[in-house]
Amino acid sequence: MASTAISKPIAHRRSRLYGLRDGVNWLYVLPALFFFCMYMLYPIIEVIVISFTDYKFLSSEPMRFTGLTNFINALQDPLVHKGLLRALYFTSIFLPGVIFIPLFVAILVDRVTNPALASLYRVILLIPAVIPGPMIFVLWRWMYDFEVGPINTILVNYLNLFTYRNAPQWLGNSPLTIPAIAFVEWWWGLGYHTMFFLAGLAAIPKELFEAAKVDGANEWQMFWNVTLPRLRPIFVVLVVLRFGTAMAVIDEYIIMGGFNRALPTYTWTVYMWHLAFNIGNWFQGYAAAIGWIGAAAMLVVVGLLFYVFRDRD
């Protein structure tokens, strides 16, 4: 009996292996494998390789292996330090807003009992999410425009809180720049992130709330002890995903700030792009090394985030 019991799973595994070895099955995997290798694996390997060389895109001279030189130089480059700190500053403003505002909105929308109204709110929330990125940035550039933007027009011409000599500068070399861009991101992602939390809220069994009510829990206690722990997987996904995207923002910075190194929008990603596609012979070996340093820094933080949000049950 014992031998039969052991041989069954082995036989099952073998049959699965034979199944995979069957050419037809591999055919199904091939397209995904091809795209993974060509669009993910190959570029990653390529960037690893050139980061250890003096590869310059505009140079016709063959690239030479330079070992860790690019990494050592990048680690000592003040622009890399400043760029990483600027990105971290943006992330620290962006991340709480992109988590807690949608959470709050999701809880409100979840309470709407009228199905038509609930759908309407969801559609309204999703409108910014379907607008293409460049349009969003151009729209908000106009909103934030010092001279003709509606925000300053209201502050100066209607509320008379400022003059055009001391009106807020929302973009450029101003302490308001990073919060202003973070606000655009909150607005843009509000509907999208709210949907994550709505899905999470829908998955919480109603019986838990009923039981809590029977035990005399108030709304805050139910939120703290029932809702929040059940939404932890959503938190983990959003925090990790959005941390990565926030640290690696580039389009917004280039559109809103260009390449002036004094601006808070000149982060490590913009510096990397500037070096790789604008300056001199386009020293992409060095730019790749900066990219890896940024990626490594992000991986460390992501590891910490996973530790913080680890399952404690």
Partner 1 sequence: MSSKKTENALLNQLRNGRLTRRQFLINMMAAGLAAGGVKVLSPASGFGGLAFAQEGRPLTPTFYEWIVSIHPLIKDEVDAKFPGGVNSQIAPVEGFDVARFVAEAKMGQSTWDVYVGMTPFVEMAGLVKAGVIEPWDPYIPKEVLDDLIPSIREECTVDGKLYSWPFLIDVIVQAWNNSITSKAGIEDKAPANWDEYLANSKQVVDSGAAPYGCTFDAHGWRSLAPITHSISTNCYYMLEGDPSGVPLYDFTSEPALQALEIMKRMLELSSANALQPGTTDGGVNLTPDEVAFGAQRVAYYVKYQNAPLRYARKWPDPSALRLAALPSGGEGATVFWTTGACLFKYGQNKEKAVEYMKALTYNMAIWKDSISGVPSGHHPGQLPPFQSIWDQMKKENPDWLQANPWAFLVLDQLKVAKAIPNHKYGLQQFIIGQPYWEKYLTGEEPDPKKAMQEAKDAVVAEMKKVGDL
Residues that bind partner 1 (CB under 8 A): 54, 56-60, 73, 77, 138, 141-142, 145-148, 164-167, 169, 171-173, 254-263, 275, 277-283, 286
Cβ at position 173, least distance to partner 1 in Å: 7
DSSP 238-268: HHHHHHHHHHT--HHHHHHHTT-TTSTT--H
Cβ at position 148, least distance to partner 1 in Å: 6
Cβ at position 58, least distance to partner 1 in Å: 4
Burial of 252 (0-12, 13-18, 19+ CB in 10 A): buried
Cα–Cα distance for residue pair 233/102, rounded to 1 Å: 15
Q: How far apart are the first and last CA of the chain?
A: 37
How far is CA 49 from its chain centroid? 26
Smaller CB distance to partner 1: residue 73 or 225? Answer: 73
Smaller CB distance to partner 1: residue 190 or 275? Answer: 275
Smaller CB distance to partner 1: residue 184 or 255? Answer: 255
Smaller CB distance to partner 1: residue 21 or 165? Answer: 165
Cβ at position 147, least distance to partner 1 in Å: 5
Smaller CB distance to partner 1: residue 221 or 281? Answer: 281
Helices (H) and strands (E) in the chain, counts: 16, 0
Cβ at position 228, least distance to partner 1 in Å: 41
Residue 82, φ and ψ in degrees, nearest 5: -65, -40
